[in-house]
Amino acid sequence: MKTTIYDVAEKAGVSISTVSKVMNDQQVGKKSKQKVLKVMQELNYKPSVLASALTGKRTSTIGLLLPDLANPFVAEMARRVEDRAHEFGFSLVICSTDLNPEKEERSVSLLRQKSVDGFILASAFNNRQVIADLVDDNIPVLLLSESHPQLAVNSINIDNIVGGYQVASHLVSLGHTRIAVIGEDATSSQQRINGYKQAFQESGLTVHEDLIAISDSSVEHAQLLTKELLNHPKRPTAIIACNDVLAISAILAAREMGLDIPKDLSITGFDNTLLSKSCDPPLTTVEQGLDKMCAQAVDLLIEEIEGKSTAKQRILVLPQLIIRKSTDFCPN
């Protein structure tokens, strides 16, 4: 039998209200307070979050929704969010959505039943209606590394357009003109692609829409798409992948076709994950200030949860190009 507030009250010879007040730092006589604290110690009493949440207090739990926890970049983000959340005594319930709008809805609905205090939607979240409902119902939400400009929601993001622009400019400066892109069905990919297009246009190059492919984020599919891109009558000399995992898939596919990276084909990633350093060759990629972003995200959400927040914010962080060995001059 778990020890309850009643056990403490009885053993300390006070009423449960007094015990409750001690726990919540409300006015209590010094003597009673000491006694109660001592008994709590002795009984190793831990109040039930369930019960206290039922009476209107927080659960100190936040729901973290992300596309796929198995994606190293996403996992890294989750870890950082987790650390910051723990600092405030919050825990994380994590759900992978696979970018599937129904899963997204189910997860949010489930977590709402479990009374999480707020949500962080990280990396990508497609079901806009669900977000809107959350906002309507006054449940704190924050978009991390994902944006829905239509919605009045706190969000914190890297500037994906700049990121795409940086990568594309880098390749262009190496002499590439036929550059393929492989992205995911997510806003961030779209924005990165837009940046790429801008860089192209600025350099007076034409964008070939048939060199832009959208993967469903499985490794197999990405490889398939890569091969298709490389079989294009006028084979591209570089591929911009919208994240590191896609980039690695592309490397594998290219290698299977007998191509040397970066001699025959330059490939760039995005996110600067662990993978990008340890793969062969190490990836040229884009670093997001993940650490700061995640911390800020948690801070902002918790502020909103605790009702201290002012107006909604939309924060943009600037990315940074990291040049490694997967890009080289355009062959011939």
Partner DNA sequence: CGAATTGACGAAAGCGCTTTAGGTAAGATA
Partner DNA sequence: TATCTTACCTAAAGCGCTTTCGTCAATTCG
Using alpha carbons, select from 191, 187, 212, 195 the residue that is nearest to residue 99: 187
Is residue 139 within 8 A of residue 128, CB to CB? The reply is no
**E strand segments, the chain:** 61-66, 91-96, 118-122, 141-144, 154-158, 179-184, 212-215, 238-241, 266-268, 285-287, 314-317, 320-322
Q: Which is nearer to DNA, 54 or 152 (CB)?
A: 54
* Residue 255 beta carbon to DNA: minimum distance, rounded to whole angstroms: 56
Q: Is 41 in the site for a second copy (CB under 8 A)?
A: no
Is residue 14 within 8 A of residue 5, CB to CB? The reply is no
Give the one entry of DNA, a second copy, none that residue 5 binds, where binding means its C-beta sits below a cut-off of 5 to 8 angstroms depending on kind: DNA
* Residue 88 beta carbon to a second copy: minimum distance, rounded to whole angstroms: 12
- 3-class secondary structure, 89: coil
Phi, psi dihedrals of residue 156, rounded to the nearest 5°: -145, 130
* Residue 172 beta carbon to a second copy: minimum distance, rounded to whole angstroms: 27
Q: Which is nearer to DNA, 40 or 238 (CB)?
A: 40
Q: Is 318 in the site for DNA (CB under 7 A)?
A: no
Which of 47, 101, 175, 289 is the binder for DNA (CB under 7 A)? Answer: 47
Which of 51, 152, 274, 315 is the binder for DNA (CB under 7 A)? Answer: 51
Using alpha carbons, select from 92, 26, 35 the residue that is nearest to residue 294: 92
Is residue 225 within 8 A of residue 216, CB to CB? The reply is no
Looking at residues 72 to 91 of the shown chain, list those that interact with a second copy (rule: CB under 8 A).
72, 74-76, 78-80, 82-83, 86, 89, 91
Residues engaged in binding a second copy (CB under 8 A) = 46-51, 53-54, 59-61, 68-72, 74-76, 78-80, 82-83, 86, 89, 91-96, 109-115, 245, 248, 251-252, 274-275, 277-280
